[in-house]
Amino acid sequence: MLNEVVKGKTSEELLSDLEEFLPGGIVYRSTQDRSVRTIFSHGKGSRLWDVDGNEYIDYILGSAPMILGHAHPEVTKALHDRVDNGTQFMQPTDIMLKHAKKVVGAIEGAEKIKYTGTGSEAVFIALRLARGYTGKSKILKFEGAFHGTCDYVSFSTIPSLNLDFPNPEPDTQGIPKGVQDSVLIAPYNDPVYAEKIIRENKDDLAAVLLCPQTLHIPAEQGFIDTVRKVTKENGVLFILDEVVTGFRVAWGGAQSHYGVKPDLTILGKALGGGIGIGCLVGPNEIMQYLDPAKKSTGEYVQGSGTFTGNPLATTAGLAALNVLEQPGTYEKLYKMADRLSDNLQKICESLEVPAVILKQGPTVDLKFSDTPIKDYRSSLNKDNELHDNMAVELMKRGVFSHGTSFYISTVHTKEEIDETSNIFEQSLRKIRGLI
């Protein structure tokens, strides 16, 4: 059993200093209850430690990239060797080639790869590529889907206005009206509406952008198949955002699980072994637009960046992919996720707390809801207060998670899963006044 976390003077002082220098004192887009916010000092395997000496089981995994856990020995060794030999050339390297072969080989139908520095940048370039390739300007995304920070996708991620579809609600100030006019929004997991809106807008629509695990809700097979079929029939590109699901749901990404072949795939997170990276992959036919030799042909799309495919990220990424590729990796990840979700389900049933568990691959997300969740609007019917209280109680007991949402790594053991389940039960009992 982990010790109860005691927040000390050091993290408090550092938090106050950070608040002076960083907007809100944080780096992420959501806030966390101030009483449990802390400053981490280091991580190893499935654990993190903060500057006050508290230990946590980590289920955030650096917002998902650390699928092998922290400081994995293979990745760390490769990085040490790399650091001694230069980290940035803005030129192709032998290690980039090895990494590229591995990534392109994993994604069916992919022939070329375009590296970027982050997932957001890859989304931005994929959308520009779709416009350049099709000669059309609009994109369709789904309500509730987060695809990073680029303007074109910063709509209807957490909308509050319940606008009629396909009207987009900006997530933030600062987005030009012209961008808003080029974005359409559809409800997730609704094949009928998706088909209708794609057909109606086919003359202007460059691409449909879909994350197959939007809000951690797995895309329904019929929905994803419909999007694939109707985009193809109407000359619209189907872009699958596998930034979270790539190399996580399966070696070949969520698309191998669904048996669906998008026109372009966006990857990030697990791809870089913990160093910032992103990429898009696709067939020559489309990807050749990114070739600078085509500049004067009217078929060129610019997508360069200083740190794209840099030696550090591709070295860490290659080492991580070599480990992930070992037989049995995904079976173990799935087994741990099943164990956690079964445990949590039983605890909620025994305490008569309504819960819906969303699970796809090694991602487990428990919502305190008594109705099914299939899209953004149905996901709103949940007990947010209980969720927020659980986030605090779990953290106090040494479980670092996004509330009741958990990313499982290859190094989480069944003992840790059971320990986490016990902590979950104690936290829930405490909130319910049962202990």
Ligand X SMILES: Cc1ncc(COP(=O)(O)O)c(C=O)c1O
Helix (H) or strand (E) run with residue 367 in it: strand 363-367
Collapse the DSSP code of 251 into the 3-class scheme (helix H, G, I; strand E, B; otherwise coil) and give the result: coil
Tell which positions 25-54 bind ligand X, by CB under 6 A. none
Minimum distance of ligand X from residue 355's CB (angstroms): 23
Q: Is residue 120 close enough to count as binding ligand X by CB under 6 A? A: yes
Q: Is residue 151 close enough to count as binding ligand X by CB under 6 A? A: no
Residue of 170, 212, 218, 278 that binds ligand X (CB under 6 A) = 278
Residue of 208, 244, 267, 411 that binds ligand X (CB under 6 A) = 244
Contact map string, positions 291 to 330, toward ligand X, x by CB under 6 A: ----------------------------------------
Q: Select the span of 27-35, 113-121, 184-192, 323-331 touching ligand X (CB under 6 A).
A: 113-121
Which residues are paired to 112 by β-bridges?
282
* Token code pair at residue 349: 């049933």
Q: Select the span of 11-19, 45-53, 117-125, 130-138 touching ligand X (CB under 6 A).
A: 117-125
Q: Select the span of 35-43, 54-62, 68-76, 114-122 touching ligand X (CB under 6 A).
A: 114-122
The tokens 């099943």 sit on which residue? Answer: 338
Residue-wise DSSP of 40-95: EEEEEBTEEEETTS-EEEESSTTTTT-TT-BT-HHHHHHHHHHHTT-S--SS--HH
Q: Is residue 66 close enough to count as binding ligand X by CB under 6 A? A: no
Minimum distance of ligand X from residue 241's CB (angstroms): 5
Which residues are paired to 155 by β-bridges?
170
Q: Is residue 123 close enough to count as binding ligand X by CB under 6 A? A: yes
Q: Select the span of 19-27, 145-153, 158-166, 284-292 touching ligand X (CB under 6 A).
A: 145-153
Residue 120 vs 341, nearer CB to ligand X: 120
Residue 5 vs 145, nearer CB to ligand X: 145
Terminal CA-CA length for the chain: 17
Q: Is 90 left (phi over 0), alpha (psi -120 to 50) or beta?
A: left
Collapse the DSSP code of 113 into the 3-class scheme (helix H, G, I; strand E, B; otherwise coil) and give the result: strand
Residue of 68, 100, 125, 211 that binds ligand X (CB under 6 A) = 211
Tell which positions 72-111 bind ligand X, by CB under 6 A. none
Most distant CA pair in the chain: distance in Å? 72
The tokens 């030009």 sit on which residue? Answer: 176
* Token code pair at residue 356: 């819906």
Contacts (Cβ under 8 Å, ≥6 apart) of 336: 362, 408, 412, 414, 417
Residues that bind ligand X (CB under 6 A): 63, 118-120, 123, 146-148, 211, 241, 243-244, 268, 278
